Copies of this chain bind each other. A is one copy, B any other.
């Protein structure tokens, strides 16, 4: 209960709610200035630093992806099991033969659609969709590249315009915020990120969508 320095930040309920709302509204990798604004705003509800905001978004994004992957992976597995079962019923005469390779290989992706050839530099292995997800060799190539491409369109390009060249990593952040952020400063400018309605949870998004566009 005493406010003695605990080794790590833990968000207050309100801070958390706001962060989650921002996340829902589409923010994934806030730029330095965005982080600055968010931090300033949230410092009104408790001690907080820029890096906390930075890490929060990073972790939240990562764990969202992770959750999704797990889910899809599970679906895949189920599908495959079902397919296998069906095949067993139809071609049950081949069971003993195929068993040499498939037995016990719930995760043995190496055998599914592995494109042979290509010796050294070519990394375009593993095109099987099952490799996109958690399990064994999920993050080797191709698959993740595609995945990433999708993610890029969400934030990065926007930020390139906002922040001339460096985007959102720490180095640019602190000089605006650090050492002067010891709470007690109420938001000085009107923040685009926080139009006035931070406690609204879920609406039809028609009035609030421009929140994000103006950054």
Residues of B within 8 A of A187 (CB): none
Contact with B along A116-141 (1 / 0, CB 8 A): 11110000011000000000111110
Q: How many chain A residues touch the partner (CB < 8 A)?
A: 38
List residues 37-64 of chain A with CB under 8 A from any CB of chain B: 49-51, 54
Give the complex CA separation of A49 and B139 in angstroms. 33
Give the complex CA separation of A7 and B167 in angstroms. 13
Residues of B within 8 A of A114 (CB): 108, 110
Stretch at the interface among A99-107, A188-196, A207-215: A99-107
Q: Does A178 contact B (CB under 8 A)?
A: yes
Q: Does A75 contact B (CB under 8 A)?
A: no
A148 shortest CB reach to chain B, Å: 16
Q: Does A152 contact B (CB under 8 A)?
A: no
Residues of B within 8 A of A117 (CB): 104
Cβ-neighbour of A136 out of B107, B140, B174, B175 (below 8 A)? B140
A134 shortest CB reach to chain B, Å: 9
Cβ-neighbour of A140 out of B106, B137, B166, B179 (below 8 A)? B137
Cβ-neighbour of A104 out of B51, B116, B178 (below 8 A)? B116
A205 shortest CB reach to chain B, Å: 33
Cβ-neighbour of A125 out of B101, B116, B136 (below 8 A)? B136
Q: Does A165 contact B (CB under 8 A)?
A: yes
- Are A170 and B165 in contact (CB-based, < 8 A)? no
Give the complex CA separation of A109 and B196 in angstroms. 57
Q: Looking at A7, A50, A165, A169, which has the most chain B CB atoms within 10 Å of its CB?
A: A169
Cβ-neighbour of A173 out of B7, B49, B50, B170 (below 8 A)? B170
Q: Does A67 contact B (CB under 8 A)?
A: no
Residues of B within 8 A of A172 (CB): 174, 178
Query: Which residues of chain A have a CB within 8 Å of any CB of chain B?
Result: 7, 49-51, 54, 100-101, 104-111, 114, 116-119, 125-126, 136-140, 165-166, 169-175, 178-179
